[in-house]
Amino acid sequence: MDEIASLPPVTKKPALPVLTPTPKDWLFLAFVVLLGGSSFSGIRIAVETAPPAVVGAGRLWVAAIFLTIYMFATGRRFPPLLEQGRPSPAWAFAIAIAATGYSVPMFLFPFAQQSVSSLLAGIYMAFMPLVTVVLAALFADEPLTRNKILGTLLGLTGVMALILPAFPADGLNASVIAQLALIIATTGYAISSVMMRRAPQVAARSFGAMVLVCAAILLTPFAIHTYVESAASVSGASMAAIFYLGVLPTGLSTICIIHMIRSAGASFLAVANYVTPGAAIIFGIVLFHEVLTGWHVLGLATILCGVFVAQPGPVLSLIQRLKSPRSDRNLTP
């Protein structure tokens, strides 16, 4: 689930009391899961006639415009490009996060889905939290505990269950290359997630719009190059799918995520990592009659077990919150 994985940072504040999700929070969570799961189906329709770079850049531009309008309408602004005559650290982080967590993944997912099913692409998103655990240990001074190591090994075992059956006897094929691209894309999401932990304090709405604008600009040259060669063949259905991806799974989902974190906290949102792959599977089966194999089930189950072993906090915290009284909310997005 690409939008949740690259969540804009929230202004740092002192630790808050435990927040118990309300029915509205659960509604937002369900909406985010449905949008995240549907994004892989949208990509499948888009890549039928549109090149991957066009799909990614078009989606990013639609989302960037959507979120920028929302940002200004709710009283936020972009920070200045320069601070004391030097490039703003906030914009530097935005560019780096845009490249790793948006431009590259939003090109690689359409690229991969030219060869693999939408449900398989959704399953690979479940691996992202485990990559984040390893990267956070290497670059964010977060200890790599025994449980995190075990969880990561379980996740890698799940990935092997997904990719090994696709290996032919004589070497690489399109399916294997596509799955390697999905691994790179989820790694990009994880890298951007770790970078966000070190990003300057910027309101979430502003930072989200900054990242989307930067990502769209970065991917546009590649989109122009490929679109010139294929403009006549891009169908209305593909264009509609690109617009859908930009407005709903990217733009509106980000707004829901911001409000959900403000209301219920970031760890509540992390529960979506367990559910979104299932939504992608359902969409793939219902809309496209894609086949869910035993290897898919084994791979996903093993990856999710690894995620829970490495990071049981979100699930355990959610159970605790359901038992706890609700506290005041004063976190500003």
Cα–Cα distance between 122 and 205 in angstroms, integer? 26
Mean pLDDT over 21-36 rounds to: 88
C-alpha 49/C-alpha 239 separation (Å) is: 9
Label residue 169 by pLDDT band (50, 70, 90).
Answer: low
pLDDT at 332: 43
Average pLDDT, the chain: 86
Strand partners, 83: 86
Residue 5: pLDDT band with limits 50, 70, 90: very low
pLDDT-derived band of residue 10, with 50, 70 and 90 as boundaries? very low
Task: Determine the average pLDDT of the residues in 86-114.
Answer: 95
CA atoms within 13 A on the CB side of 106: 37
Among 74-78, 96-100, 137-141, 287-291, the range scoring the smallest mean pLDDT is 137-141
pTM (two decimals): 0.87
The mean pLDDT value for 271-284 works out to 92
Count other Cβ atoms within 10 Å, centred on residue 282: 17
More confident residue, 172 or 108: 108
Q: What is the model's pLDDT at position 14?
A: 46
Q: Mean pLDDT, to the nearest integer, of 27-39?
A: 93
pLDDT confidence band for 151 (50 / 70 / 90): very high
* SS (HEC) of the chain: CHHHHCCCCCCCCCCCCCCCCCHHHHHHHHHHHHHHHHHHHHHHHHCCCCCHHHHHHHHHHHHHHHHHHHHHHCCCCCCCCEECCEECHHHHHHHHHHHHHHHHHHHHHHHHCCCCCHHHHHHHHCCHHHHHHHHHHHHCCCCCCHHHHHHHHHHHHHHHHHHHHHCCCCCCCHHHHHHHHHHHHHHHHHHHHHHHCCCCCCCHHHHHHHHHHHHHHHHHHHHHHHHHHHHHHCCHHHHHHHHHHHHHHHHHHHHHHHHHHHHHCHHHHHCHHHHHHHHHHHHHHHHHCCCCCHHHHHHHHHHHHHHHHHCCHHHHHHHHHHHCCCCCCCCCC
The two three-digit tokens of residue 71, written as one number: 């940002």
pLDDT over 60 at 44, yes or no = yes
Asked if residues 44 and 242 have their Cβ atoms less than 8 Å apart, the reply is no
pLDDT of residue 237: 96
pLDDT tier, 183 (very low <50, low <70, confident <90, very high otherwise): very high
Asked whether the predicted pLDDT for residue 31 surpasses 80, the reply is yes
Q: Kindly report, residue by residue over 198-212, the tens digit of the pLDDT.
A: 889 888 899 999 999
Residue 82 phi/psi, 5-degree rounding, is -120, 140
- Report pLDDT for 84: 81
Q: pLDDT per residue over 308-325, tens digit each?
A: 999 887 777 767 766 665
